């Protein structure tokens, strides 16, 4: 792991503790037994909160980074399930607490409460091949000819108890239904993507209501007939439908959100209104309450999600991210949730935050005062925070969950108060409840305090722990406000207690191609290096010669340099490589020999003092304009302290190197992690690819390449179809290596990479770096793109 090389070679060899663990057969339990997820909890967006109708304490959520989370105790703790590409929908069986359905790229079913899972559709015998492709290593399948499967996500799962064995779901515009618990399936093309599927065992016992943006289709369960009823033109194109029956009265209510198509707002959900039907979708009327319409200001709010309690449908919640209150001089922007307890006639705020300019990262507002929160309120509470989703307990609309960019919150009293269900305060810090939904780049060890470790994070910056990782504290004091989104890397000085350098950027997710698709991306970038003299409690920027517009993704320290004038190297994604010989006070650009592509991502400094650099592929913007031409990634070497660079020839054609590592026992032995084939659209954008001749695959080898002669020659030593993020050499065990992938697996080798074995219990789709545990000889850390950090004993299958 290149960024850590200056750290691992120099003095972190503290007391090593042995450990042991016993695997168990159940997959979910094995994961929890063998791996501990560490971090403050939360930190990312969660979606589709779905309650069991039989138990208010049991619910599921997903994050947008492929993880799925189940709680059986109201959110005090969670189990995590991982399905490739993540999931889109959930369904608990209405009468059997052990049966759960999860819709991912396939339909999955558990009959033991979530302990084990079976693929229900398509059945395994129809699957010819599975594969990963693209910049995010998206999972896909090839199926047998004649299969009903359509590639996409399984949505809107509905289990029908009025007719035994009936299951419904959709993939995009295709409605699927089974009469025999999923043994066989039929499908119907509904012309538009399906937004909502509803049925019940009372008033809708004979019908299924299928909603698209422009029509309601009624499916007759007995005859199999479909009848389409168009929605009124005034609510084209409606979305986020919800529905249910009134409590104590078998009368259905349906709700939907609609945007004014003449008033679109870039990056927002538009000018919105809410529509209702009280006669099973035959007629619709607009909700006219003055609060929900923001009548006092005359500016329609922006609504994104609406949900009601299916057995208590008069209770309904809606999420807003732009609700403007006019003032004498301008306007105040509010965000949050509103609810109704009388079937949408009267509405009130139940979560009201903001009141400022509504701009990200600007602390000129306030968090909702009725939130009992963990660390997020202190960190981001005065900023604009986008809310993401809402879910309601079917039997009681007083119980609901609302999620936002960072946290998951629950109410038990109809929105009067909200309680965090993602992170728990302990002492001065916080500990995750198991809902870990953010990206980590590295784990870092204080050479003077074995209990002090740090994590460099996307979106939530720098967190550190003073009790060996049990609790965590966010620490960004002194970091410029437009940098704090992402801390990509940091280095503790092994010779000076308390001294730490960290690299920051307002642009997260490098080296993913989506971050560089706009010609202005280099000019929009902000970032740089900060230094701390108190172990990361406070920071100050040190960017003379570099500037405040320098997204730093990696820092390495030459520990042989004088302690009062340390030599440091930094990769800056939009500029190249910088060097400092005065401890970071000033910097010089060192790009001699580096080509036009300066997307410098990771550096490694070997024991011999040789530098290696990986550069990521990016688009070529001729005259500042978008086009189909792209730069290949590259690998460079410097033997003179970055004064000059030589490009290394790993293979012919395109290359996407991600990480490079040197063996401390033999610094001429190098391991290069590479990304496999991606699409042109991953780099330049789908719209441009389609309009300029169509998309195409950029063929390149993934896996791991080995050089035993300091980069002169290379050979593939791992599956070249896999997407390997980085490699780590375990300096504690001769010949031991680890790698992590975006292919739902991590691997180890005991023989310098000649053979590899998969690690047990780890199956997160998007893995990043393996990190050697400096304090426990038998453990490692695995950083992830969306599931924080996993810590455990790397047993193999």
Location of structure tokens 């010949």: 735
* Distance, CA of 65 to CA of 5 (rounded, Å): 28
CB neighbours of residue 155 within 10 Å: 19
pLDDT of residue 161: 82
Backbone angles phi, psi at 543, to 5 degrees: -135, 20
Q: Which of 475, 612, 451 is nearest to 530 (CA)?
A: 475
pLDDT of residue 64: 92
Annotate 222-249 with DSSP letters as a single string.
TT--EEEEEPPGGGTT-EEEEEEE-TTS
The three-state secondary structure class of 363 is: coil
Average pLDDT per consecutive 10 residues, the chain (797 residues; last block may be shorter): 47 31 44 88 98 98 97 98 97 96 98 96 96 96 96 97 89 97 96 97 95 97 95 95 94 96 79 97 96 94 97 98 86 96 98 94 95 97 96 98 98 98 97 97 98 98 98 98 97 98 98 97 97 98 98 98 98 98 98 98 98 98 96 98 98 96 97 98 97 97 98 98 98 96 98 98 98 96 98 97
Backbone angles phi, psi at 747, to 5 degrees: -135, 160
Contacts 24+ apart (CB under 8 A), 477-481: 477/537, 477/538, 477/539, 478/530, 478/532, 478/538, 478/539, 478/540, 478/541, 479/504, 479/530, 479/539, 479/541, 480/504, 480/526, 480/528, 480/541, 480/548, 481/361
> Could you tell me whether strands 194-198 and 186-189 are parallel, antiparallel, or unpaired per DSSP bridges?
unpaired
* Distance, CA of 121 to CA of 149 (rounded, Å): 8
pLDDT of residue 23: 31
Sheet holding 35-38, edge to edge: 35-38, 789-792, 780-784, 767-772
| Cα-Cα end-to-end distance for the chain | 23
* Distance, CA of 194 to CA of 154 (rounded, Å): 11
Sorted by sequence, the CB contacts under 8 Å of residue 24 that are 6+ apart come out as 30, 33
* Distance, CA of 575 to CA of 581 (rounded, Å): 19
Structure tokens at 200: 């019940």
- HSE, side-chain direction, 13 A CA sphere, residue 342: 6
Sorted by sequence, the CB contacts under 8 Å of residue 275 that are 6+ apart come out as 235, 238, 255, 256, 257, 258, 284, 285, 286, 287
Is residue 166 within 8 A of residue 176, CB to CB? The reply is no
* Distance, CA of 180 to CA of 697 (rounded, Å): 41
Sheet holding 331-340, edge to edge: 302-309, 312-326, 331-340, 348-356
CB neighbours of residue 567 within 10 Å: 22
* Distance, CA of 176 to CA of 155 (rounded, Å): 10
Sorted by sequence, the CB contacts under 8 Å of residue 783 that are 6+ apart come out as 440, 441, 442, 443, 455, 740, 767, 768, 769, 770, 771, 789
């Amino acid at each position: 792991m290149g960024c850590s090389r200056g750290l691992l070679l120099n003095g972190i060899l503290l007391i090593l503790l042995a450990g042991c663990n016993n695997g168990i057969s159940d997959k979910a339990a094995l994961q929890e037994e063998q791996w501990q997820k560490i971090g403050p909890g939360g930190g990312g967006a969660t979606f589709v909160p779905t309650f069991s109708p039989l138990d208010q304490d049991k619910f599921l959520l997903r994050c947008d980074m492929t993880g799925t989370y189940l709680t059986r105790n109201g959110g005090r703790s969670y189990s995590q399930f991982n399905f490739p590409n993540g999931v889109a929908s959930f369904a608990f069986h209405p009468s059997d607490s052990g049966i759960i359905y999860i819709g991912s790229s396939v339909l999955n079913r558990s009959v033991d409460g979530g302990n084990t899972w079976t693929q229900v559709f398509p059945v395994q015998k129809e699957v010819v091949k599975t594969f990963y492709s693209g910049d995010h290593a998206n999972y896909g399948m090839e199926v047998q000819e004649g299969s009903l499967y359509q590639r996409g996500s399984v949505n809107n799962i509905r289990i029908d108890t009025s007719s035994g064995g009936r299951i419904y779901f959709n993939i995009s515009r295709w409605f699927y239904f089974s009469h025999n618990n999923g043994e066989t399936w039929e499908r119907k093309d509904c012309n538009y993507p399906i937004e909502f599927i509803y049925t019940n065992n009372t008033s809708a016992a004979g019908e299924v209501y299928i909603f698209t943006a422009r029509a309601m289709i009624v499916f007759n369960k007995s005859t199999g007939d479909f009848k389409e009823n168009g929605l009124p033109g005034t609510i084209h194109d409606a979305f986020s439908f919800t529905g249910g029956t009134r409590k104590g009265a078998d009368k259905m209510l349906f709700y939907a959100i609609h945007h004014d198509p003449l008033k679109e707002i870039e990056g927002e959900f538009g000018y919105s209104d809410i529509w209702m039907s009280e006669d099973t979708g035959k007629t619709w009327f607009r909700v006219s309450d003055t609060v929900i319409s923001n009548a006092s200001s005359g500016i329609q709010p922006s609504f994104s999600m609406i949900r009601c309690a299916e057995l208590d449908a008069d209770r309904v919640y809606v999420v807003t991210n732009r609700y403007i209150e006019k003032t004498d001089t301008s306007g105040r922007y509010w965000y949050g949730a509103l609810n109704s307890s009388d079937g949408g006639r009267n509405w009130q705020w139940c979560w009201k935050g903001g009141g400022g300019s509504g701009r990200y990262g600007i602390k000129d507002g306030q968090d909702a005062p009725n939130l009992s929160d963990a660390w997020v309120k202190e960190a981001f509470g005065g900023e604009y925070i986008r809310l993401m989703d809402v879910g309601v307990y079917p039997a009681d609309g007083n119980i609901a969950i609302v999620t936002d960019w960072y946290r998951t919150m629950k109410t038990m009293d109809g929105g009067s108060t909200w309680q965090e269900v993602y992170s728990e305060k302990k002492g001065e810090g916080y500990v995750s409840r198991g809902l870990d939904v953010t990206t980590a780049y590295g784990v870092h060890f204080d050479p003077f305090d074995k209990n002090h470790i740090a994590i460099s994070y996307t979106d939530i910056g720098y967190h550190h722990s003073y009790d060996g990782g049990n609790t965590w504290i966010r620490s960004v004091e002194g970091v410029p406000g437009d940098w704090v989104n992402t801390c990509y890397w940091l280095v503790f000085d092994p010779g000076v207690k308390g001294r730490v350098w960290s690299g920051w950027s307002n642009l997260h997710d490098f080296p993913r191609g989506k971050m560089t698709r706009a010609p202005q991306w280099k000019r929009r970038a902000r970032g740089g290096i900060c230094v701390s003299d108190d172990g990361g409690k406070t920071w100050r920027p040190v960017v003379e010669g570099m500037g405040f517009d320098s997204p730093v993704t990696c820092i390495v320290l030459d520990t042989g340099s004088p302690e009062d004038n340390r030599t440091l190297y930094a990769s800056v994604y939009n500029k190249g490589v910088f060097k400092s010989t005065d401890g970071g006070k000033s910097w010089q650009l060192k790009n001699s020999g580096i080509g036009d592509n300066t997307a410098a991502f990771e550096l490694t400094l070997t024991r011999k003092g040789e530098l290696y650099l990986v550069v990521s592929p990016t688009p070529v913007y001729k005259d500042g304009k978008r086009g189909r031409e792209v730069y290949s990634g590259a690998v460079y070497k410097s033997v003179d302290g970055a004064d000059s660079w030589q490009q290394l020839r790993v293979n012919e054609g395109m290359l996407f190197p991600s990480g490079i590592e040197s063996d401390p026992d033999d610094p001429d032995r190098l391991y290069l992690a590479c990304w496999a084939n991606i699409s042109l659209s991953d780099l330049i954008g789908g719209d441009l690819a389609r309009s300029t001749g169509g998309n195409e695959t950029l063929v390149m080898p993934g896996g791991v390449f080995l050089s035993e002669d300091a980069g002169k020659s290379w050979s593939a030593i791992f599956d070249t179809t896999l997407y390997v993020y980085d490699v780590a050499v375990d300096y504690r065990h001769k010949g031991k290596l680890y790698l992590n992938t975006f292919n739902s697996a991590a691997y180890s080798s005991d023989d310098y990479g000649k053979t590899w074995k998969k690690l047990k219990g780890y199956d997160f789709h998007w893995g990043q770096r393996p990190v050697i545990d400096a304090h426990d000889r038998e453990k490692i850390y695995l950083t992830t793109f969306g599931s924080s950090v996993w810590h455990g004993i790397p047993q193999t299958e």
